[in-house]
Amino acid sequence: MPIEEQLKAERVEVLSGVTVGELADKLGVAGAALVKKLFEMGEMATVQQSLSDETVEIVCEDLGVAVHFLTEEELEFGVEEPEEADKLEARPPVVTVMGHVDHGKTLLLDAIRSTDVISGEAGGITQHIGAYQITKDGRVITFIDTPGHEAFTAMRARGAQVTDVAILVVAANDGVMPQTREAISHAKAAEVPIVVAINKIDVEGADPVKVKTQLTEHDVVAEDFGGDVPMVEVSAKTKQGLEDLLEVVLLQADLLELQANPNKSARGRVVEAHLDRGRGPVATLLVQGGTLKRGDILVAGTADGKIRAMFDEDGNQVQEATPSRPVQVIGLNEVPEAGDEFRVVDAERFARDVAERRSARERRKELADRRPTTLEEFTSAVQAGDKATLNVIIKADVSGSAEALEDALLKLELDEVQVRVVSKGVGAITQGDARLAEASDAIIVAFNVRPGANAREEIDRSGVDVRTYSIIYEAIEDIERAVKGLLAPEFREEVIGEVEVREVFKVPRAGFVFGCMVTRGEVRREAGVRVIREGVVIAEDKMSSLRRFKDDVREVREGFECGIGLEKFQDVKVGDVFEAYETVEVERV
Ligand code: GDP
Ligand code: MG
């Protein structure tokens, strides 16, 4: 019987990562029939195999069946009732400290903690559990104690937004540095308000005005410069200015009117977790809603268990924890991941089931699909009518190009789809750019620049889409097309390989020949060549010769040496990279 005649459902509710067999059940068709159908669509899959969301959508559409992807929460815990306004109570702000290395994040976190009279008086031994609370003028502030934006992005990559206010630490004697800029981008992408701590004000050469001026260039404008970003001069060493900083943080928090309902079972996020030899899995949980109690039954990511004991940051046992309170708990059966959501549930059996199902699903999903957006995927999503924003990170060789590109992209006239520039900058693509792209689901548009070595690894690992251009209007056209859901042009440039220049020879009458090693892909005689120095394109050319030893060759593969001559550009230096590219016809599916 044809699959269409077997169909028993007009609408199915499935989880992301559903297997062929499970989908067939929901549709009311035989597994084999669905396997056959998928095969006809060009998708080879067995009954036990997990399908990507996209495939599920396509096959359901083809069968005329509506599909709804259940969120994990909907499936496991039922549909959530909306929070009732009269049950909400104010909660303390949760603060993360970010900034460039050595600008004083760690010392500042320690200094803030030591100003806390209450924990000081208790005489407890301070412990680093990943977060702590202090009291200032009778009000509580929670600090996430793992500084740096790596922690921040790791959380965000897992869909966790725990930070209410970001303190950006900038050393007054050093000014805005690469990680300062990255931290700004991260905070902005997450729409978290920034408070700037201009640190090391005690040091000779401290120049807070210069720091403010530099920050202005990154759209972080101090109040006394006409902007709305509070900036406080501090010294983590002498503790000067710390009281002011805390006051300003509380003022920012007031503007946010942070609230939560403490009178329900708790949920929140895992801030940190590790395996302790004596106590087993130990996790620091940040309560975001409800009240967490000793004896509660938890699911945290793929872990579950009953809380045997809870501790605060001073190592004291606590019986319960209200919203914004971090506590260290023991009793979980495995180590959850930072950023995982946790929830309190009624029964141990239920917690175990949920955790086990999640583990199984995670394993399957890893196989099915786990890649950030590419421009092509975005185009298909627009065609299907379900993408609203294309996030873009712009990197260019000079700031003029970056700005021109940004202006043009923001000016694109579009109805429902929007382009958002998450960050823009000058110079080679960094590891930080790649991480930001992954965390904010962005593509990187690179104009005359390339990834540095560290960034390369990160890009390969995460599958972030990097689009390189040397003509601005081509970049704009490409993106405009994608955003309008139009297909890519039939021809497109493809990088086929990369060589590193190891030696430069002057050959009588023939000009220069460059001794090279092919480090990626391959080079072919007819390929176009771009000369890249420190991540920036400095010339475009063609080869005048490609040789192995004395012989002219058509191509040279990765791991082999070769001699290359260029038609025009001769000012090549050892360490330069040649990128070989060809124009290829794009296959249309
Ligand atoms: P992080 O890498 O941002 O965590 O920076 P650290 O907190 O480790 O600080 C880097 C160095 O700067 C350390 O030697 C600190 O003692 C020093 N430092 C941090 N803050 C201050 C400050 O306000 N004044 C002075 N003089 N030194 C500081
Ligand atoms: Mg540090």
What's the CA-to-centroid distance between 557 and ligand 1, angstroms? 48
* Cβ neighbourhood burial of 387 (10 Å; 0-12, 13-18, 19+): buried
Distance from the alpha carbon of residue 242 to the mean position of ligand 1, in angstroms: 14
Q: Could you tell me if the CB of 239 is within 6 A of ligand 1?
A: no
pLDDT at position 526 is: 92
Give the pLDDT confidence of 318-341 residue by residue, as tens digits.
Answer: 999 999 999 999 999 999 988 899
Give the residue from 296, 303, 295, 309 showing the smallest Cα distance to 267: 296
Q: Closest Cα to atom 9, ligand 1: which residue?
A: 104
Residue with tokens 């720091």: 211
Q: Which ligand is nearest to the CA of 110?
A: 1
Query: How many angstroms is it from 107 CA to the middle of ligand 1?
Result: 6
pLDDT in tens, 193-215: 999 999 999 999 999 999 999 99
d(CA 563, CA 552): 9
**CA–centroid distance, residue 528 to ligand 2 (Å):** 45
Residue 15: what pLDDT?
A: 82
How far is 177 from 157, CA to CA, in rounded Å?
Answer: 24
Mean pLDDT of the chain: 88
User: What average pLDDT does range 510-534 have in this prediction?
Assistant: 92
Residues forming beta bridges with residue 117, ordered by sequence position = none
Please give the Cα distance from 336 to 282 (Å, whole number).
9
What is the residue with the minimal CA distance to atom 20 of ligand 1?
A: 104
Q: Is 525 in the pocket of ligand 1 (CB under 6 A)?
A: no
DSSP string, 314-363: TS-B-SEE-TT-EEEEEEESS---TT-EEEEES-HHHHHHHHHHHHHHHH
Does residue 219 register a pLDDT over 80? yes
Q: What is the pLDDT of residue 217?
A: 94
Pocket test for ligand 1, best of 106, 107, 144, 199 (most atoms within 8 A of CB): 107
What are 498's strand-pairing partners? 520, 579
Pocket test for ligand 1, best of 102, 112, 115 (most atoms within 8 A of CB): 102
What is the whole-number distance in angstroms between the Cα of residue 580 and the centre of ligand 2?
Answer: 41
For residue 456, the model assigns a pLDDT of: 86
pTM for this predicted structure: 0.60
Q: Is 388 in the pocket of ligand 1 (CB under 6 A)?
A: no
Q: How far does the centroid of ligand 2 lie from the alpha carbon of residue 100, in Å?
A: 9
Q: Is the distance from the beta carbon of residue 236 to the nearest atom of ligand 1 less than 6 Å?
A: yes
Closest CA to 300 of 352, 362, 365: 352
Ligand whose nearest atom lies closest to the CA of 179: 1
| Ligand 1 close to Cβ of residue 101 (< 6 A) | yes
Which ligand 1 atom is at minimum distance from the Cα of 201? 23
Ligand nearest, relative to CA of residue 107? 1
Q: Which residues contact 178 (CB under 8 A, 6 or more apart)?
A: 100, 430, 432
> Hey, whose CA ends up nearest to atom 19 of ligand 1?
104
CA distance 165 to 254: 11
Angle at 75 between CA 336 and CA 330, to 5 degrees: 25
Report the C-alpha gap between 247 and 196 in whole angstroms.
Answer: 13
**343 CA distance to ligand 1 centroid (A)?**
38
Atom of ligand 1 nearest to the CA of 203: 26
Q: What is the distance between the alpha carbons of residues 561 and 175, in angstroms, rounded to a whole number?
A: 44
Nearest bound ligand to the CA of residue 239: 1
**153 in ligand 1 pocket by Cβ < 6 Å?**
no
Q: Which two tokens stand for residue 99?
A: 């900034």
Report whether residue 146 contacts ligand 1, using a CB cutoff of 6 Å. no
> Residue 369's pLDDT band (boundaries 50, 70, 90)?
very low
Nearest ligand, CA 169 = 1
Above 60 in pLDDT, residue 512?
yes
- 149 CB near ligand 1 (under 6 Å): no
User: Using one digit for the tens of pLDDT, what is the confidence trace for 246-299?
Assistant: 999 999 999 999 999 999 999 999 999 999 888 999 999 999 999 999 999 999
Span from the CA of 151 to the centroid of ligand 2 (angstroms): 12
What would the mean pLDDT of 381-391 be, rounded to a whole number?
74
The answer, yes or no, to whether residue 140 has pLDDT greater than 60, is yes
Cα-based angle 445, 450, 451 (whole degrees, multiple of 5): 100
For the cut 80, the answer to whether the pLDDT of residue 189 exceeds it is yes
Paired residues of 513 in beta bridges: 505
Block residue for tokens 């004896």: 295
Q: Which residues surround ligand 2, an ion (CB under 5 A)?
A: 106
CA 394 / ligand 1 centre spacing (Å): 32
Tell me the mean pLDDT in the region 129-145.
93
Residue 488 pLDDT level (bands cut at 50, 70, 90): low
* Cβ neighbours for 534, distance < 8 A, ≥ 6 positions apart: 428
Q: Separation of 200 CA from ligand 1 center, angstroms?
A: 7
Contacts (Cβ under 8 Å, ≥6 apart) of 208 = 172, 198, 201, 231, 233
Nearest CA to ligand 1 atom 17: 104
Residues 369, 409: Cα–Cα separation, whole Å: 29
Query: What is the per-residue pLDDT for 243?
Result: 96
pLDDT at 452 over 60: yes
Ligand 1 pocket residue status of 173, Cβ below 6 Å: no
pLDDT for 503 equals 93
